[in-house]
Each structure stands twice: as structure tokens, then as C-alpha cells.
Amino acid sequence: MNKKKGQLTLRKIVDRFPKATILVVGDVMMDRFIWGKVSRISPEAPVPVVVVDHEDVRLGGAANVVNNIDELGGKGVLCGVVGDDEMGQRIMNELIEKKIMTHGIFIEKGRQSTVKTRIFANQQQVVRIDRERTDHLKGSTFRNLSEFLIGKMEDSDGIILSDYGKGVLTRKLIRALIRRARESKKFVMVDPKSKDYSIYRGATVITPNTKEASEASGIPITDELSLEKAGKKLLKKLRCDALVITRGEEGMTIFEPDQEPFSVGTVAKEVYDVTGAGDTVIGAIALALSIGAKIKTAAELANYAAGIVVGKMGTATATREELIRAIREKP
């Protein structure tokens, strides 16, 4: 494929994103960022003293996936759970402000909303503080969530399971969603966190990062050869249509049955922060698949989107306009 034809194909896919509706279920969270400077060490302990300049909050986890889908021009339908606490209300307010529908978000009394607080000093992350509950949902919450998903599945082109291991995506729910999606001829994409990858068997596309793929396969990934062994082992074990191993600054590698591994190199000009890049990748691939793109083309497009967000600080999104510009400027 020559450069001009390749750009045209990718642009046509992006132009069709508004036709896509993706159902996203998983762990909804808030990413909190505290920015400051360090000029001295504390006299109380050998730790830096961070003098705070400012702080902000951004949607994280499954909410960030939907935010990326919407910013890229598609329609994301979010389903998840927050607690009845201050941060849970803040998450709801942020969703409303961004015009993301909240009728798929269920508030569970007594549950701690998931918050990841990252403290940056002189543009470097120095510590992360997590507040979360990872136990299973209450029976009533689980039933409400399940009923919502059953009702919305038929109206979607595909489903993303955004699993951050915070208790929403149980084995029972994951298996039921994959089975029902297959019956309805909908694709299922998984951003995995469970160490037991058997729960994702039969999903259409699974997108672990290098560390996750290494742990799940039992093969330490240190070079291209070990990457290939791990990828092929997982592909066979999971019986998925495609396995996409995201590799940070090295791009991503795609594994499909009866085909050689296919690598897509990164297009990022500068990498400032990889926070949330996986959410961007899975959202962009899902949009491309929903309008008929092949997985390799979808991954190439997602790589452009990821290249945009890693050039920004904190949890970020790639807009449709930024993606079109990145494709146009392809070297």
C-alpha cells in the first residue's frame, strides 16, 4: 500500500466513526493529578517536599475509554459502578459535563469509588496513591448492571470489557457477556487484568501489555523471540480472533491464527506520559472494527491515536481532528 492510498483508507475509517456505537463495561474511576515542585528534602524523613502548584481530576478506567471513543467521533455507552461518596458524585458530574450518558452507572451504598492520585514534581511522577474496593458487587447492584447490559447489547456494534480488577467484571459476568455477544454476532474486546486469562477465552480481541502477556503466558518477554512465543501461546490458549500486545514506546504486535506476527511501530514524536494510553488504543481499535476495518488496519489507526495521548501529560484523549492531522502528517 502506497503512502497516499494508506492515508486515504485510514481517513475514510475515521470519517465513519460517527456511525459506531460501542458498549463499554468495567471499572469506572477517577484519575487525580497533583502538580508541584521540589526544592528540598523533608527534615522528618529522607523524602522530597512537594510544594503544590495545582491539581485536577480526569475520568479514568472504563470512563476514559468512553471519553476517548466520544472524542474520536463515535458513541460510547458506559456501564459501571461508583460509590455513594464525594468522589463518586464528582465522577458523575464529570460524566454529565462531558455529555456522557450516566444511566448505565449504578451507585452502590457504602462502596469506595476508585481514585488513583498521582503526584508529579518537576514534571516527574514521584508517587501514586490508590483508594479502592475490589470486592464483588452487592447482589442488587449486579442485577441492575446485568439487566442494563442485556438491554443495550443489541443496540451496540461491539463491546469493550475494561477490566481493572476492581470487582465489577466477575468471572460469571465476563463469561456471560462473551457468550451472549457471540450469539448476537457482536465483537468483544478485552483490556485484561485478571491473572487467570481463561475467563477471557472466546473474546474477539484481547489487548494485554507486555508485562501482562508475560505473566499470563508464563514466558518472560525480553526480546522478539520470547514475544513471539508468548503471543502464540496465548492466542492458542484463548481462542480469540486476535491478540494485540501493546509495547509502549515500541508500538504493538498483532497475533492472528495461521499468520505471522505483525508489528506496528510507534508514531509518537515524544513520550511524556503513558497514563491511559491503553484506553485510547482499545477504544480506537473498537471503533475501526465496528465499521469493518481489519485488525491490522485498526491497530495502525490506534497507534496514531496512542501517539497523540502519550505526548500529553496525565490521562488524556485523542480528538478526531488530532487523529486526522496525525494521519495527514504521516512520514
Active-site residues: which are they? 279
CA distances from 133 to 84, 138, 237 (A): 13, 12, 30
- Per-residue cell: 156: 451496540
At 79 the three-state DSSP class reads: strand
Where does residue 202 rank: exposed (0-12), middle (13-18), buried (19+ CB within 10 A)? Answer: middle
DSSP class of 132: -
Amino acid at 306: A
Size of the chain in residues = 331
Spatial CA neighbour of 315 closest among 168, 120, 158, 167 = 120
At 49 the three-state DSSP class reads: strand
Spatial CA neighbour of 27 closest among 184, 213, 195, 174 = 174
Q: In what order do the strands lie in the sheet with 48-61?
A: 48-61, 28-41, 114-121, 124-131
Task: Please tell me the distance from the alpha carbon of residue 104 to that of residue 302, in angstroms, as a whole number.
Answer: 26
DSSP class of 46: S
